[in-house]
Structure 1
């Protein structure tokens, strides 16, 4: 009996190890292609708005897919979903590698997103199903560390591959995720889920249309795209109120703590994109670094955050999610507020300051994932955590689009932070300043509306 229990524990620990490795590859796949966009643009002679769909299409499908897999997890075994997802991801990687035209490349990225979107949902469900609240933080710390490590490695791998080979071979790197499939199937021991119901694909299509036209309206500054966004959003609202089993369950949002946690998590996720999206542009545009060098300067902070992920999870288990959240918000505040001052100065200074922001981002992922999961009853975990991940990705896409639009405006006449040292980085400083203000707003919101519940449940 003792031997059987020990074997089960060993299998669960191995399952977590496989999950972390899979998350590293999944996050790398998202960040690598950001670095390859200039090369792809030149090869296919694209406009910037056309090339943007390499990322935009991926994010939209990834966000929608995270909720779909969350719903499917209430009906099917996780090993079945992972088999389908990873095989679909591999098919997209093969198509992307062989792509000789831009439409085929986008199709490959869309297929990748359809498969890869299984990972964020699984990364939230496995800690919730296999670990109690006292130990869940440790596992979420490990998964967050895996995501941080993928963020750190992605730009460096992309720079090396595109420099010594070409962007096609990035798809070969993505195929490493297939290595995890037999291990997932071996260590995932679970019963068939008993909840049944249809997935509202019409509602999913309306939501996807809303997101696509929203991002197009921002990037193109088009009132027509904004009108189409409004139309699809109205259709989405009508659908989730009239469908028997809607794509997004409105009943979940009657849980005020869940709703507030979703909002806070979405804002923090969007703020966090100031690291992987905005900072490489700062280092390349203002400091004049190559993509490889900018990735190397960002690597130590992401590696440090990854190494502290497990410690952050243990801290949440011992002291509560609210303690970890305050530490994360402090790291965010220190990092972004100083970046708004030193933007454009020595890259070594940027490298040091990024450590605070990266630690804040990793700790926030652990604390909020743990807290939000605690607001859900067991029957709603799959859908609820899928909605959490979808919100985070949508927020990331929206914040990225807004930041890119702000950078396109040229030099601002208003300097938001009077302490800025390098005037040629005014645009970046202003964006970091706005993000710092948002961090302050999130901190007060969390303190006065969410802390008591988090302390009790965490």
Structure 2
């Protein structure tokens, strides 16, 4: 796209529409977690079969987020969002009337093809259209994602409980009502068709899918395929004239270390969101609705802190806020680890501390990357950022799930923790705390060194 400054008619209306559509997109993923047992019962499916409702969706969604990110560098956001929302709505309506499980899966894949456009554009739009308030807008976007992740299971449980799981698809289809508002407020930008490395994109997609299959389905052969495809991706990046992912992105050490530490932080946050519902059922025997209520304060705190945190990114600098958010996240995991086994209300309050860090980490990390990337590479650079977010969620969920299956200690590592059935969860949160500490040290050390080098060279 052209580097010329773009004017938008109504910035507030555009931001509201983006947040609304993003909330529906994120909830669409979390709502279906609740409905998986109902879908399995409806079609008499084994757990391995019904898991494709989520696994297949995640795979297509992850690939799509990267592809759409690449396309935003050449195609107008108005065109992309129109295509994405229409496709998503078609998939939602198809799922609502699906007569069998095969059609349900097809509907979910179509949803993912359209819906994966949303996070790509949600992170590109603040960078492109709100340059003077980028941190604040990114904070709002991240807080909406965190809030939707928390409220999705509650809403999904209510819809599936009072109506049926089919109505989750119908609820998702309502996202199309935002299209007129988005089209009215998005600027008319010229589409600059450029040559796209389809072979390189296909290799990247194959690597992502095979990696996610290995992670989520525990298929060893998938990792072998992923390694082969990764080698081919690297060779293609070196040999292609216009590679799908420019290799010099990863030669920038600031970009690389920010991606790596952000990946660690988001993986730990997704691991928290994955393990807490299981813990509340396992340790406290709470119902689905009670689990949602227990997690609601944390989700609400994330929603409330997002805008303020985004302003701080603009005022104090993204690097400073990123480091502070890592320290807060570290302390939050320690608090949760210590309160596992206490009264559910105490645990619910303790969850606020790590969950409110979600928008801070996302907003400051995205702003750091936006400062590093050139305008012509913002789309693909942020696409890789979104891709790693999805991969981190799949990886942390698989690893935590395996740990819960195999590891049942009687006493926690945390000397302040409570012994009993919650010990394994306390230990998981201590491990997350340790990973965040490692990430903090890496970022503070490597980013500082880069800053010094740049100062000396300027």
Q: TM-score, normalised by structure 1?
A: 0.92
**Counterparts in 2 of 1:254 and 1:326: CA distance versus 1, 3 Å:** closer
Residue 52 (structure 1) shift:
2.3
In 2: Cα distance, 1:261 partner to 1:268 partner: 11
In the alignment, is residue 433 of structure 1 matched against residue 416 of structure 2? no
Q: Which residue of 1 aligns with 2:373?
A: 376
In 2: Cα distance, 1:382 partner to 1:229 partner: 24
In 2: Cα distance, 1:246 partner to 1:292 partner: 48
Q: Which residue of 1 aligns with 2:115?
A: 116
Q: Which residue of 2 aligns with 1:228?
A: 225
Contact 2:295–2:351 (8 Å) recurs in 1: yes
Residue 221 (structure 1) shift:
4.7
Contact 2:257–2:442 (8 Å) recurs in 1: no
**Counterparts in 2 of 1:163 and 1:264: CA distance versus 1, 3 Å:** same
In 2: Cα distance, 1:409 partner to 1:100 partner: 38
Structure 1 stretch 319-328 or stretch 235-244: which is displaced more? 235-244
Q: Which residue of 2 aligns with 1:446?
A: 443
Contact 1:342–1:350 (8 Å) recurs in 2: yes
Q: Which residue of 2 aligns with 1:148?
A: 146
In 2: Cα distance, 1:428 partner to 1:205 partner: 39
Aligned counterparts, 1:170-185, within 5 A: 170-185=168-183
Structure 1 stretch 364-373 or stretch 339-348: which is displaced more? 339-348
In the alignment, is residue 409 of structure 1 matched against residue 406 of structure 2? yes
Structure 1 stretch 178-187 or stretch 214-223: which is displaced more? 214-223
Can you list the C-alpha shifts for 1:91-118, whole angstroms capped at 9, x where unaligned? 1111221223222222111111111111
In 1: Cα distance, 2:187 partner to 2:175 partner: 20
**Counterparts in 2 of 1:358 and 1:93: CA distance versus 1, 3 Å:** same
In 1: Cα distance, 2:450 partner to 2:365 partner: 12
**Counterparts in 2 of 1:246 and 1:451: CA distance versus 1, 3 Å:** same
**Counterparts in 2 of 1:393 and 1:218: CA distance versus 1, 3 Å:** closer
Q: Which residue of 2 aligns with 1:33?
A: 32
In 2: Cα distance, 1:10 partner to 1:310 partner: 22
In 1: Cα distance, 2:440 partner to 2:303 partner: 23
Instruction: Point out where structure 2 has 5 or more consecutive residues left out of the alignment.
Output: 1-6
Q: Which residue of 2 aligns with 1:203?
A: 200
Instruction: Say which of 150, 158, 161 aligns to 2:159.
Output: 161
Residue 160 (structure 1) shift:
0.2
In 1: Cα distance, 2:239 partner to 2:145 partner: 38
In 2: Cα distance, 1:454 partner to 1:52 partner: 45
In the alignment, is residue 194 of structure 1 matched against residue 205 of structure 2? no
In the alignment, is residue 250 of structure 1 matched against residue 284 of structure 2? no
Residue 71 (structure 1) shift:
1.6
In 2: Cα distance, 1:166 partner to 1:19 partner: 28
In 1: Cα distance, 2:221 partner to 2:75 partner: 41
Instruction: Point out where structure 1 has 5 or more consecutive residues left out of the alignment.
Output: 1-7
Superposition CA RMSD, Å: 2.2
Q: Which residue of 1 aligns with 2:95?
A: 96
Contact 1:261–1:372 (8 Å) recurs in 2: yes
Structure 1 stretch 340-349 or stretch 258-267: which is displaced more? 340-349
Contact 1:343–1:420 (8 Å) recurs in 2: yes
In 2: Cα distance, 1:289 partner to 1:205 partner: 44
Q: Which residue of 1 aligns with 2:61?
A: 62
**Counterparts in 2 of 1:414 and 1:218: CA distance versus 1, 3 Å:** farther
Aligned length: 448
In 2: Cα distance, 1:423 partner to 1:451 partner: 43
In the alignment, is residue 345 of structure 1 matched against residue 347 of structure 2? no
Contact 1:73–1:193 (8 Å) recurs in 2: no
In the alignment, is residue 358 of structure 1 matched against residue 364 of structure 2? no
